Amino acid sequence: MAEEKFSLREIIRINLRGLSLIYSLIPWNGFMTFLSVLSDVVLSYWEYFFLAKLMDDILSSAARETLVWDIGLLTIGHLLMTLVYKILSVLYMYGGSNVWDIANAHLNEKMMSMDYEYMESESIHNKRRDIDITARFNGGGICVLFWYATPVMERALQMIIALSYTIYLISRCRIAFAGEPLKAIAFVGIFIFLFALLLAISSRKNKQAQETIHQYDEKNIPNYRFYQFYLNEYIEKEECGKTIRMFQQQELLSSYVKRLFQKLHDNIDKICLTDQKRNIWLGSIGAVISGLIYFLLGIMVSKHAITIGSVCLYAGCITNFLWHFRMWMEQWVDLVTNTKYVKMYLDFLEIPNKKYEGTLPIEKRDDDQFTIEFRHVSFRYPGSDRDVLKDFSIRFHIGERLAVVGKNGSGKTTLIKLLCRLYDPTEGQILLNGIDIRKYDYQEYLSLFSVVFQDFKIPALPLGQTVAVSRNYDEERVISALHRVGLDKLLNKMPQGLETPIYTDYDQNGVDISGGEAQKIAIARALYHDTPFVILDEPTAALDPLAEYEIYSHFNELVGTKTAVYISHRLSSCQFCNDILVIDEGKAVQRGSHEKLVQDQNGLYYILWHTQAQYYQTENIL
């Protein structure tokens, strides 16, 4: 991952944007964070202040009532403040326990709302994977920001208060060295110089260690990515298990995984060693600074510049400063390093959609009389210099069945993607009732189509919700759609009826289904939505010949009066369509009925038909 440098202003701006997003996702946690920080600061200095007051009152032989009051404030106050702090901390921790889940869900919402062309972009998927890997393995991004921003702010406040006490203590040197101004100046100057020098050395050593640790973490990111692939995407996949055993891949895969683990552990060992060296340095410097502070306090007490009780206050404040300064340095460096991961997250959310979504409403028609026309359409995928469709023109006939056939890669599926506005044409227009489809409201336009894609997916949800694509659905319509595609037997074996989950991935009470049943459910899902256009992209690829014949023999009944566009590489299954379009290398080269096209011996359809006819006698089936 390329190193990215930010100015202090950019670091603050990016992290504030990240915090603003976090607190918009978990609104109440921002207030809890503020109260938690405030209560911890008050708790820290409550003990120092009242302990110092109690000691001074004891040494000055104060009245019993005063001592009781001091003890009460010290103990009861400390107890109450601790209780408040613990409660607020629990609420803060509770809010942060699922911060990544909430942030990840926000990313998923973005993925689902992005233009479809991004979904086919490997660059976009890599960005999404890097965010996930960084968050889960490297601990970076939104998670680090949430957990580190609060202590960084708290420690900064702690240091400001402690430093104020330290400055006040130093100012008391004028009393300790009364009548000796030069000696006082020299003493204060030497103390400030040594104090600042030791803090600077401590800060530098800590920064060097943090940067070294970060470099090793960066080296581990690609190792984690490979680990995730081998473990989650291959070794644990059921479909890969057969290949692993049949081709005896165990030794090959084990060798790769072992090498990955070795690389990971080598870097982790280096991280641990670096951390130990840092702790030795910072511990030694802290001890020297503490000795310097106690020397100063001894001088001030011996010269009656401060009271003995004040030693507890100042010693506690300065010790507090040193502790928080060390931790603040570590967390600030981590926060700075993490800034690019926060920016990565924010940049992903801000990827703009390119598609113009239009505003025109779709004309409501009871007769479903919609006309679609491709007018001189050319299209190439983003990043490609090759047109998949070239000067393509066609008009759909209302209420008819159009079959689109051609060789693999000829542009059949691309035609459907353009029709559904998953992509917009590179050149030319697609018209709905004579109006460019880009001018229509995007969601209204999509509602015209029910599509069964070749690479469809069925989610592991209850059967009824899967068909209706909604938690609330019309049971009779769902059952009717399942009946029309021949899934009565599947429905009958569902123990909870339509509320039975599909697959057992996430619910052991679910029912696993075959590929053919999944494909029929996808068709039922399209039928349930009762749209003017039904588009089927290889809808029976997973069905056996008898099931395929059953679907086709009732196809007109299934589709009714709707316009149907059917894509297939099996020409035998296109005979039910009264109109067949042949595409070759992105161009419409033939169009007509099966009987007409098969008679043209010079046409591509004739060649494809007779090539496939060598392997099965479709005429006898249909």
Q: Please, what sign has the CA dihedral across residues 357, 358, 360, 366?
A: negative
What is the 3-state secondary structure of 118-147? HHCCHHHHHHHHHHHHHHHCCCCCHHHHHH
User: Are both 318 and 391 inside the same structural domain?
Assistant: no
Q: What does the pLDDT read at residue 547?
A: 65
Same domain, 163 and 96: yes
User: Which of 492, 495, 489, 493 minimizes the C-alpha distance to 520?
Assistant: 489
Q: Report the percentage of the chain scoring pLDDT > 90.
A: 10
More confident residue, 67 or 574: 67
Q: Is the pLDDT score of 578 beyond 60?
A: yes
In angstroms, the Cα distances linking 94 to 20, 34, 39, 98, 154 are: 18, 15, 17, 8, 19
pLDDT at 568 over 80: no
Give yes or no for residue 616 having a pLDDT over 70: no
Residues 16 and 97 in one domain: yes
- Cα 305 to Cα 187: distance, rounded to the nearest angstrom: 14
For residue range 124-153, what is the model confidence (pLDDT) as tens digits?
888 887 887 777 655 568 888 888 888 888
Judge whether 349 and 142 are in contact, CB under 8 Å.
no
Residue 36 lies in a domain: yes
Mean pLDDT of 328-347: 85
Q: For residues 171-178, give the mean pLDDT.
A: 76
User: Is 46 in the same domain as 141?
Assistant: yes
Percent of the chain with pLDDT over 70: 91
Cβ pair 67, 59 in contact under 8 A:
no
DSSP H/E element including 372: strand 372-379
pLDDT at 391: 92
- Find tokens 């490997």 and name the residue: 122
Looking at the fold, whether 338 and 389 belong to one and the same domain comes out as no
Of the pLDDT bands very low, low, confident and very high (cuts 50, 70, 90), residue 410 is: confident
End-to-end CA distance of the chain: 58
Residue 17 falls inside a structural domain: yes
Give the model's pLDDT for residue 55: 84
Render pLDDT for 87-123 as a digit per residue (tens, 0 to 9): 888 888 877 777 888 888 888 888 888 888 888 888 8
pLDDT for res 367 = 59
Instruction: Name the pLDDT band for 478 (thresholds 50, 70, 90).
Output: very high
- Upper half-sphere CA count for residue 503 (Cβ side, 13 Å): 11
332: which 2 tokens?
């600030």
**Domain membership of residue 168 as a residue range:** 8-172+306-349
E-assigned strand segments in 433-545: 435-436, 449-452, 533-537
Indicate if 325 and 444 belong to the same structural domain.
no
Given a cut of 90, whether residue 14 has pLDDT beyond it is yes
Give mean pLDDT, residues 592-613: 85
Residue-level pLDDT at 1: 47
The residue with greater pLDDT, 92 or 376, is 376
- Residue recorded with tokens 């709707």: 562
What does the mean pLDDT of the chain come to? 82
Neighbouring residues of 612: CB distance < 8 A, sequence distance ≥ 6: 570, 571, 572, 618
Q: Are 449 and 412 in contact (CB under 8 A)?
A: no
CA-to-CA distance for 26 and 98, rounded, in angstroms?
A: 10
Task: Verify that 609 and 521 share a domain, yes or no.
Answer: yes
Section 449-459 average pLDDT: 83
Q: Which of 458, 461, 457 is nearest to 500 (CA)?
A: 461
Average pLDDT over every residue of 206-220: 77
Residue 431 has pLDDT above 90, yes or no: yes
In a domain, 38, yes or no: yes
Read off the pLDDT band of 622 (50, 70, 90). Answer: very low
What are the C-alpha distances in Å from 377 to residues 374, 394, 427, 513, 589? 6, 9, 5, 40, 15
Do residues 15 and 85 share a domain?
Answer: yes
59 vs 600: which has the higher pLDDT: 600
Whole-number Cα distances in Å, 129 to 122, 144, 399: 10, 18, 44
Residue 40 has pLDDT above 90, yes or no: no
How many domains does the structure of the chain reveal?
2
Supply the pLDDT for residue 620: 46
Look at residue 597 and tell me whether its pLDDT is greater than 50: yes
Q: What is the arithmetic mean of pLDDT over 48-72?
A: 84
Write down the residue that tokens 């043209």 correspond to: 600
- Are 491 and 520 spatial neighbours (Cβ–Cβ below 8 Å)? no
Domain boundary among 318, 349, 380: 349
Q: How far apart are CA 502 and CA 513, in angstroms?
A: 7
* Alpha-carbon span 572 to 70, nearest angstrom: 96
Task: Please check whether residues 563 and 611 belong to one and the same domain.
Answer: yes
How many other CB atoms sit within 10 Å of the CB of residue 366? 5
pLDDT score, position 378: 95
In a domain, 126, yes or no: yes
pLDDT band at 567 (very low <50, low <70, confident <90, very high): confident
Asked whether residue 472 carries a pLDDT value surpassing 60, the answer given is yes
Residue 195: inside a domain: no
Confidence of residue 617 (pLDDT cuts 50, 70, 90): low
Residues 438 and 552 in one domain: yes
Top mean pLDDT of 265-274, 341-350, 550-559, 566-575 is at 341-350
Per-residue confidence band for 348, with pLDDT thresholds at 50, 70 and 90: very high
Find residue 440's DSSP bridge partners.
Answer: 360
Task: Please state, in angstroms and as integers, the Cα–Cα distance from residue 415 to each residue in 353, 392, 587, following that order.
Answer: 21, 9, 11
318: helix, strand or coil: helix
**Co-location of 338 and 400 in the same domain:** no
The predicted-structure confidence for 506-538, as pLDDT tens digits, reads as follows: 778 888 888 788 888 988 898 888 888 888 887
Q: Grade residue 554 by pLDDT with cuts at 50, 70 and 90.
A: low
What pLDDT is stored for residue 546 in this prediction?
Answer: 67
Q: How confident is the model over 331-339, as a mean pLDDT?
A: 82
The interaxial angle of helices 27-59 and 8-25, nearest 10 deg, is: 110
How many residues in the chain? 622
pLDDT at 412 over 70: yes
Please classify residue 158 by burial: count the beta carbons closer than 10 Å to its beta carbon, then call 0-12 exposed, 13-18 middle and 19+ buried. Answer: buried
Beta carbons within 10 angstroms of residue 216's beta carbon? 17
Contact criterion met (CB below 8 Å) for 370 and 432: yes
489: in domain:
no
Q: Is 592 helix (H, G, I), strand (E, B) or coil?
A: strand
> What is the structure's pLDDT at 430?
94
Residue 550 covered by a domain? yes
CB 90 within 8 Å of CB 36: no
Q: Quick one: how far is CA 320 from the chain centroid?
A: 38
- Residue 486's alpha-carbon distances to 358, 523, 543, in angstroms, are 39, 11, 12
Burial class (CB in 10 A: 0-12, 13-18, 19+), 154: buried
CATH number at residue 601: 3.40.50.300
Of 57-66, 238-247, 283-292, 421-430, the poorest mean pLDDT is in 238-247
Whole-angstrom Cα Rg for the chain: 36
Residue found by looking up tokens 């000796």 in the block: 180
Segment 206-230 mean pLDDT: 75
Residue 315 lies in a domain: yes
Q: Which residues pair with 565 in a beta bridge?
A: 402, 535
- What would the two tokens of residue 563 be? 């316009």
Q: Are residues 452 and 312 in the same domain?
A: no
